[in-house]
Amino acid sequence: MIYKRLLLSLLPSIALASGSVSAYEKLEPPHDYDRVAQEIVSTLENVHYNKTLIDDEISEQAFDNYLDALDPSRSFLLQEDIDRLSKYRDAFDDALRNGNSQVAYDIYNVYLERAETRLEKVLAEIPNMVKGFDYSVDESLNIDPDKLAWATNQEQLDDYWRKRIKNRALTLKLNGEEQQEIIEAIERRYKSQLKQIDQTNATDVFQSFANSVTAVLDPHTTYFAPRASEAFNINMSLSLEGIGAVLQMEDDYTKVVRLIPGGPAEAQNELAPNDRIIAVGQEGKPMIDVVGMRLDDVVDMIRGERGTNVILEIIPANSNSQNSKKITITREKVKLEDQSAQKKIVEVERGGKTFKVGVIELPTFYSDFAAIQRGDRDYKSSTRDTKKLIEELQEEGITALILDLRNNGGGSLQEANSLTGLFIPAGPVVQIRDASGRVSILGDQDRDVAYSGPMAVMVNRMSASASEIVAGALKDYGRAIIVGDQTFGKGTVQVLQELDKGQLKITQAKFYRVSGESTQHKGVMPDINFPSLINTDDVGESALDNPLPWDKIHDTRYPVYWNFDEYIADLTQLHSDRIKQDANFVALEEQIDYVKQQSEHFKSISLNEKTREQQREESEQSELKRENKRRQALDLPTLDNVDDIEAPEEDVYAHEAAEVILDFISLYQQNH
């Protein structure tokens, strides 16, 4: 089966488009979208992988999704509004099917009035409110989304807003801002939010309404109105300068989903997945608070001319409080060569001998389609580059090879297939099942093998899609030991369907390994687990709403080269014993335990200044203590300040992966 356009990478969410509307002016459905509504429901029912009937059950979930999209932090609507609007709970399916989306606008207009009234009230009160805050009072702000409920009256909502503003004011105060600067920063936040609401147009509301329905089917099926469709295509081509990060909205915050390999943010190494961006600034200009701002506008602020700096205020994912920090990233265009395969050699001392283990770092599965179309015989591709690097590493006398797919979010399916073929003779690589249940097999036809020796594949939670296809195939064939962390679990295929207006990105198929196991939801489990700071409960397909489930189909015929299973227990024990003595891993394990313990306690934020200062001090001292313990074990000079801590120059994961593959070689030789 041929797919016109396979969307294999983890892709950014695209926010609503911009328009203009004056305050309190009610929005009405754009009737030129009536046909689009009917197209969407027809396409979902007939093309989506599950071919789900859009009925009242879907409508009820879509109703909740729509309210969450409008008011994710429960900041504007009251419980009485929800009760009154609940009469529309079963109307979303009929609205789409009949091409009459009035229900969405009736709900939106209630939200519009509540939001504008609230924001105007807040803006009028901010100066006196900030001046009157007493930071010695012991009170807290709930940040646990599971315990966030609709306010039952205006007084309750007033107190919630007071605490939200006090939290932001305290954060700015702890960052050294003066009172007037704090007032101006908070005013900018809510003026911006009010402006965003005032600029929302009828098309925006329709897109949000449509996506409240698509989100019930799975997290990757999305409707893009014309402007958002254009933004989506820009993101697909990576043609604009920026920081190289995939972002999405979550509970009023702009959250980092992943860093683009070879991009500025990854190179700078201060931004991480799950970090929340709360303000964006340009050189010489005040920071703009972006909490509650639409994603496309946040992205526009972050993008800019290459070589210029953007300042981000972030709440780190591993922070044990809401204290923020500022980082500066220089904008650059993410180029193909920046994402190219790279090689290095890890040297391991054993028994008085030095063993060389080659490492090929592959940030993405790429192919220079423009060069191919020009007829350039020297076009770049991940397969061609990897093959060349393998040849160079073999000339340097490597004992084993590691394919590093950490943080590789996917790319070209054809490249994933051909790259797998570098390590196996001709054979199946991945199975693809469509919505009709038909299974097609994609495989390598080239019997030549670039490397037939022992190897490992390194993965982590950000290894997704095409990466999971390669890792799964090499695992099933017994060609590689998989080391690292459970992969992302994106095993679905999306295609773009053109509609009368805009596009529908719709899930149409699922990937299955040659063993028959899906890569969806569960991902690829490593043979040897490495400790990781990424929490699989917060990151990955299983952390998204309504992911398609893991399942299994018939396997296909394929040979198994090494039976790694009989060695895994011994390899795991050797690995465990070794990292207990490795100062780098000991420090990492302690950091993981610390973050886990803190996250269990911080379901609310203290609004007491001394408490927050103490939390920050404890966090910094804990980090400094771990780092100095590590440095002492490695005979390195200790540090006096947490700001002096830098990431270790050595890639401890790659070194441990090399140890694991050498363990296997030793055990295999003993048994043969």
Q: What is the CATH number of the domain that holds 313?
A: 2.30.42.10
Gap between the Cα atoms of 418 and 411, Å rounded: 13
Q: Which of 465, 515, 606, 619 is catalytic?
A: 465
pLDDT for the residue numbered 232: 46
Gap between the Cα atoms of 64 and 538, Å rounded: 21
Residue 5 lies in a domain: no
What is the DSSP code string of 555-592? ---------THHHHHHHHHHHHHHHHS-HHHHHHHHHH
User: Is there a single domain that holds both residue 65 and residue 202?
Assistant: yes
User: Is there a single domain that holds both residue 458 and residue 550?
Assistant: yes
Residue 25 lies in a domain: no
- Which of 263-267, 286-290, 605-609: highest mean pLDDT? 605-609
The pLDDT of residue 76 is above 60: yes
Q: CATH code at 449?
A: 3.90.226.10
User: Is there a single domain that holds both residue 330 and residue 341?
Assistant: no
For residue 149, which amino acid is it?
A
Q: Which of 198, 275, 476, 651 is catalytic?
A: 476
User: Is there a single domain that holds both residue 269 and residue 346?
Assistant: no
User: Is there a single domain that holds both residue 131 and residue 198?
Assistant: yes
User: Is there a single domain that holds both residue 63 and residue 210?
Assistant: yes
The pLDDT of residue 12 is above 50: no
User: Is there a single domain that holds both residue 186 and residue 86?
Assistant: yes
Q: Which of 166, 173, 255, 490 is catalytic?
A: 490
Find the domain containing 646 and state its range: 581-669
Q: At a CB cut-off of 8 Å and minimum separation 6, what does 521 contact?
A: 489, 491, 541, 542, 547, 548, 549, 550
Residue 231 lies in a domain: no
Gap between the Cα atoms of 604 and 139, Å rounded: 10
The pLDDT of residue 13 is above 70: no
User: Is there a single domain that holds both residue 500 and residue 381?
Assistant: yes
Residue 230 lies in a domain: no
pLDDT for the residue numbered 640: 85
Active site residue 593: no
For residue 506, which amino acid is it?
I
Are 363 and 261 a contacting pair, CB within 8 Å?
yes
Are 596 and 664 a contacting pair, CB within 8 Å?
no
Are 208 and 16 a contacting pair, CB within 8 Å?
yes
CA dist list (Å): 95 to 27, 90, 111, 134, 489 = 16, 10, 19, 50, 33
User: Is there a single domain that holds both residue 553 and residue 425?
Assistant: yes
Number of compact structural domains in the chain: 4
Residues 86-134 pLDDT 10s: 999 999 999 999 999 999 999 999 999 999 999 999 999 999 999 999 9
**Span 76-95, average pLDDT:** 95
pLDDT for the residue numbered 315: 81
Gap between the Cα atoms of 64 and 78, Å rounded: 14
Gap between the Cα atoms of 64 and 85, Å rounded: 11
Gap between the Cα atoms of 647 and 262, Å rounded: 18
Residue 285 lies in a domain: yes
Are 44 and 279 a contacting pair, CB within 8 Å?
no
Active site residue 71: no
The pLDDT of residue 252 is above 90: no
Residue 222 lies in a domain: no
The proportion of the chain whose per-residue pLDDT surpasses 90, expressed as a percent, equals 57
- Cβ neighbour number for residue 139 with a 10 Å cutoff: 15
Active site residue 344: no
The pLDDT of residue 21 is above 60: no
Q: Which of 564, 589, 609 is the last residue of a domain?
A: 564
Lowest average pLDDT, out of 6-10, 90-94, 569-573, goes to 6-10
Residue 569 lies in a domain: no
Residue 196 lies in a domain: yes
Average pLDDT, the chain: 87
Q: Which of 334, 362, 383 is the last residue of a domain?
A: 334
User: Is there a single domain that holds both residue 327 and residue 343?
Assistant: no
The pLDDT of residue 228 is above 60: no
